[in-house]
Amino acid sequence: MSGKYGSVGNGVSYSKLNGSEDSVNFCSGATAPDTISNASGVFSSGHGYLRTNDSFGKSHKSDSTSVLIDPVGRHDEDDEPILPPSAGRVLGTLGGVFAPVALGQLSTNVFQRVGFVVGEAGMLQTLLMFVLAYTILLLTVLSICAISTNGAIEGGGAYYMISRALGPEFGGAIGLLFFFANVFSAALYVAGFVEGLLSNFGPGGTLNLDPPLPEDDINASFKGYSYLYATVVLIFCLIVCMIGGAMFARTSLFILMVVVLCTLMVIISTFVKQASELPIPIPIPRTNTLVYPDVSNVTENVTTVFYNYTGYSIHTFMENLFGKYTADYTNPKVIQNFAIVFAVLFSSVTGIMNGSNMSGELKDPSRSIPRGTLGAVSFTFTTYIILAFITAFTASGDLLRNNYGYLQEVNIWAPFVIIGIFAATLSAALGNLIGASRVLEALARDELFWFLLKPATIVTRSGNPWVAVIISWLLVQLVLLIGSLNAIAPLVSVFFLLSYAATNLACLALELASAPNFRPTFKYFFWWTSLLGMLGCLAMCFLINAVFAAVAVIILMLLVMVLHLRTWPTSWGSISQALIFHQVRKYLLLLDSRKEHVKFWRPQILLLVANPRSCINLIHFVNDLKKGGLYVLGHVKVGEFDQQKDDEVQQEYPGWLALIDSLKVKAFAEMTVAESVREGMRHLVYISGLGGMKPNTICLGFYDDSVPMDTLVHRRRRTRTFYGSAEEGSTDPVAEIFPPLRGIGDRKPLVAEEYVKLIADTLKMSKNIFICRHFQQLDKEAIIKSKNRKFIDVWPVNMFNPRTAGYLDMSCLFILQLACILNMVSGWKSKTTLRIFLCVEREGPDTERKQKKLEEILKQLRILGQIRAIPWTDAVIHHATSQQSAEETKLSTDYTVVSDEYVVKLNELIKQHSSNQGNTAVTFLYLPRTPKKESLYTKYLKQLAILTDDLPPTVLVHGIHPVTSTTL
């Protein structure tokens, strides 16, 4: 972008007007407002600091494609200066990516560890190690390139990519591990620098002309001075990082040129040495306790041990072809093996994300990261293979295993190698230190770890996170106390490998989710490359050090769980949602309603809620009844959609989701607008669910004249989601989400006839139904805490038609099924017993026969419960039937007109047996079909009210489909 005008994609352009505001035009000749709002904030494009207003109303730096194009000098509402798109982004591909990655991968290996690897593992295993390491690296780089070319990249490198793909929980956990990986790696390279310094200039070093010291003095000198030298090196790195990214890039480019020059001189030197000079005896440093076991007796008169540098020799190559694992003279207590050597090698080539770490300061990260990283990986792999072959052809195995700094003895000018060692390790330490600070700043800016990392967000006017740099520097100082270079290497490798595995996982998830917005411009990757990269990284973790890997994975999982409980200050979008959508859609297509079988029936319930304030207990109760089935909270807004200024359903829907989250019920919410509750209920029955997962059972609250209780306010477990602070002037968000309940004398929104029509419509639409009353009395916690067992009472008989007593129709079986499901739920199962009442006209032999028959049926249905035979002759004699004949009413499930006195007797009978000593938790009753004549609707509802008056929480049930089976 240059000048006053720039492009924002195909057909979209913007221009700066009068040097103060920006306008966005979508097509030629079109007039657009100064800002165009979308779901995530203000629309625009480009690089720079992103600003959006999230759902919490607070301004945050965003990671979406929404960018606020602001001229220099503008301020946001918090009076914070908003940087222009170019501010802080000064690095190109060469200095910002290629140089840091190349130097991070050359690091200690190029001069100090190639000989060690070849000498211990042999040339064949060395090639295998490099191919294995670089295959894992390349597969990971492909994933990095894919993610980095899929949108605007902010600061934070790998952490940013992982967190925005996998979500804050996994991203934050991996980000913290990646931060510590960079810290440990910086310490590793500083230790390598000091090792090179002491091996040349320290006591007994190759360039130290002073006589060697006794063992105690050498150890004391090493322990004291090595940490002092490391501190000096770190101070230099700190100064460079404090100046900023531009200084880091210039320093990296200069160091890279030095390392390349020194490497070329090593290669040239192998050809310059004349045949007459070969073989060249190379002295073994006096610090090698494997060659000089009795260091205390080593004096100037003791014979120095030499091993040969043979020059190019096929005999030498054959000698170095196979491995010979021995003890490392810098750590004699440990015998080397493939895993240890590979860990040392891999830990020195883990710099592939050094360029990605600088993503916030790259001019064009989507272009620079792929090109720079792939170029650096190819360059370093070629360099290592050349050096490995040269090493295997020219130096004896004994020399390689006992003098890691032998190259300076055969170089045209010995200081070339020393300078190369210092330059390579210094640059790698520098890259990891600045990378760690950028990751830490990104973690702090995203507020994942509450206020703990808040200081790391402090930056200079140019955007350099100087506090994060200081924190990272201090941690590296602490890590250096671990000591040996090789002791740190396995831990570094495990941390980096986990980070690489997460990067591959992020790319794999994005690819498998098939999200339309995942369309990276980098095309040279596939889902299987990400999968292989992830598996390779995880396998190498445990191969290198199973203990470290297990501990790291446990820490990772703990961090994920901790972050999962976090309330996020912003939303990035989690790949888990895309994957869940992808899988759910696939399985919903496979869920064929035509293949349903009664053996696998489960309740899928639509609970119609007028106002959740009055039915919190009922919502929890129905949640217990669903038995893993679909559960939908439905709400009808009465009114005309055309008369609404905005869609009120969309405005209120988040409040219902918040209610579900607060109550911790596994439910969905569905809302609709209709001119009547009846019409809206039909909408909800038809639209709720999808495919083969749709409601088969409708639940209604009871219609009566009682004043509803605000159970939302009085429920015991209150959450901050719904309750504001107690400070004066604070508002209760519930009042804004849900209206207050009706009071005494207030008009009901639904008349009795329409309520009965809801029941009739439900049955007409072939849905089971149950109606709940008195659930404001239900206290599940009290039931669970009670020392006495409670009963779930079941009355499987149509009491409005006593002639049906002794017959179990669909409704009776449905009642038994619901009661059995409730009794299977945790809490209810341990504190309640199922009690089935068998209504008989009189006690006698016939009663015993009916009881045994019922026991047999319950046994076949695998329903455990107590059967109580109840004579109801006194109630039956008050029964007054309609004009229907006995034959017509024998097995009818319809409502039969009866006298109110008869219903009162039934109510007294139920109360007598279910409310004794308050031992009934819930009562299940038979709900007859609605009358065929609408003129009887009011009487029907009135007698249902009489039947259930003063009972414990009661459920009136009517089922029309088979719900249970006696077959296996």
Q: What is the pLDDT of residues 620-667, one digit of tens each?
A: 999 999 888 899 999 999 888 887 888 888 888 888 988 888 888 999
Q: Would you tell me how many other CB atoms lie within 10 Å of the CB of residue 729?
A: 6
Cα–Cα distance between 203 and 209 in angstroms, integer? Answer: 9
Q: Would you tell me how many other CB atoms lie within 10 Å of the CB of residue 78?
A: 7
**Average pLDDT over every residue of 534-548:** 86
Give the residue numbers spanning the domain of 828. 779-885+892-963
- Whole-number pLDDT of residue 77: 41
Last residue in a domain, options 566, 581, 609? 566
Its sign, for the CA torsion 603, 608, 612, 615, is: negative
- Whole-number pLDDT of residue 342: 85
Indicate the residue type of 940. Y
- Whole-number pLDDT of residue 207: 61
Contact 179, 219 (CB under 8 A): no
Tell me the pLDDT band of 757, cut-offs 50, 70 and 90.
very high
Give 346-374 pLDDT, tens digit per residue.
777 877 888 887 777 788 888 888 999 99
Contact 108, 426 (CB under 8 A): no
- For residue 86, tell me if it sits in a domain: no
**Average pLDDT over every residue of 370-396:** 92
528/477 same-domain check: yes
- For residue 419, tell me if it sits in a domain: yes
Q: Judge whether residue 911 has pLDDT over 70.
A: yes
- For residue 172, tell me if it sits in a domain: yes
453/398 same-domain check: yes
Q: Give me the percent of the chain exceeding a pLDDT of 90.
A: 22
Q: Where are the beta strands (DSSP E) in 54-172?
A: 59-61
Tell me the pLDDT band of 55, cut-offs 50, 70 and 90.
very low
764/811 same-domain check: no
- Whole-number pLDDT of residue 725: 40
Q: Judge whether residue 884 has pLDDT over 70.
A: no
Produce one character per residue of 122-152: b if its CB has 16 or more CB atoms within 10 Å, e if not.
bbebbbebbebbbebbbbbbbbbbbbbbbbb
Q: Using DSSP bridges, classify how beta strands 280-283 and 5-7 pair: parallel, antiparallel or unpaired.
A: unpaired
CATH of the domain at 754: 3.40.50
Token pair of 204 as six digits: 């007994």
- Whole-number pLDDT of residue 188: 80
Counting every residue written for the chain, the total comes to 968
Give 823-843 pLDDT, tens digit per residue.
999 889 889 999 999 888 776
- For residue 361, tell me if it sits in a domain: yes
Spell out the alpha helix ranges (H) of 14-79: none
Q: Judge whether residue 212 has pLDDT over 70.
A: no
Tally the domains of the chain: 3
Q: Which one, of 765, 770, 760, lies nearest residue 603 by Cα?
A: 770
Give 914-953 pLDDT, tens digit per residue.
765 568 999 999 999 999 899 999 999 999 999 999 999 9
Give 330-340 pLDDT, tens digit per residue.
778 888 888 88
Contact 350, 496 (CB under 8 A): yes
813/704 same-domain check: no
Q: Give me the percent of the chain exceeding a pLDDT of 70.
A: 79
Q: Judge whether residue 81 has pLDDT over 60.
A: no
Highest mean pLDDT (candidates 193-197, 299-303, 598-602, 884-888): 598-602
- For residue 371, tell me if it sits in a domain: yes
Q: Judge whether residue 83 has pLDDT over 50.
A: no
- Whole-number pLDDT of residue 318: 93
Give 410-453 pLDDT, tens digit per residue.
888 877 888 887 887 888 788 888 888 888 888 888 887 777 78
Global confidence as pTM:
0.66
Give 225-275 pLDDT, tens digit per residue.
778 888 888 898 888 888 877 787 888 888 888 888 888 988 888 888 766
Contact 343, 318 (CB under 8 A): no
H or E segment to which residue 635 belongs: strand 631-638
Last residue in a domain, options 739, 771, 803? 771
- Whole-number pLDDT of residue 351: 77
546/631 same-domain check: no
244/294 same-domain check: yes
- Whole-number pLDDT of residue 834: 93
Cα–Cα distance between 729 and 717 in angstroms, integer? Answer: 23
Neighbour-count burial of 34, counting CB atoms closer than 10 A to its CB (0-12 exposed, 13-18 middle, 19+ buried)? exposed
Q: Of 98-112, 305-319, 918-932, which range is least confident?
A: 98-112
- For residue 58, tell me if it sits in a domain: no
Last residue in a domain, options 566, 590, 623? 566
> What is the maximum alpha-carbon separation in the chain?
130
Q: CA torsion, points 616, 622, 626, 631, in degrees to nearest 10?
A: -50
- For residue 722, tell me if it sits in a domain: no
Tell me the pLDDT band of 534, cut-offs 50, 70 and 90.
very high
- Whole-number pLDDT of residue 108: 61
556/662 same-domain check: no
Q: Judge whether residue 27 has pLDDT over 60.
A: no
Highest mean pLDDT (candidates 74-88, 582-596, 833-847, 900-914): 900-914
Token pair of 866 as six digits: 């107590």
377/286 same-domain check: yes
Distance of CA 714 to the CA centre of its chain: 34
553/605 same-domain check: no
Q: In whole numbers, what is the pLDDT of the chain averaged over residues?
A: 78
CA end-to-end distance (rounded Å), the chain: 71
Tell me the pLDDT band of 890, cut-offs 50, 70 and 90.
low
Spell out the alpha helix ranges (H) of 631-774: 648-663, 677-687, 711-714, 733-737, 752-764
Contact 50, 152 (CB under 8 A): yes
CATH of the domain at 413: 1.20.1740.10
- Whole-number pLDDT of residue 726: 39
690/837 same-domain check: no
- Whole-number pLDDT of residue 633: 95
561/505 same-domain check: yes
- Whole-number pLDDT of residue 21: 38
- For residue 39, tell me if it sits in a domain: no
- Whole-number pLDDT of residue 78: 43
Cα–Cα distance between 631 and 607 in angstroms, integer? Answer: 8
Its sign, for the CA torsion 736, 619, 632, 676, is: negative
- Whole-number pLDDT of residue 390: 92
905/764 same-domain check: no
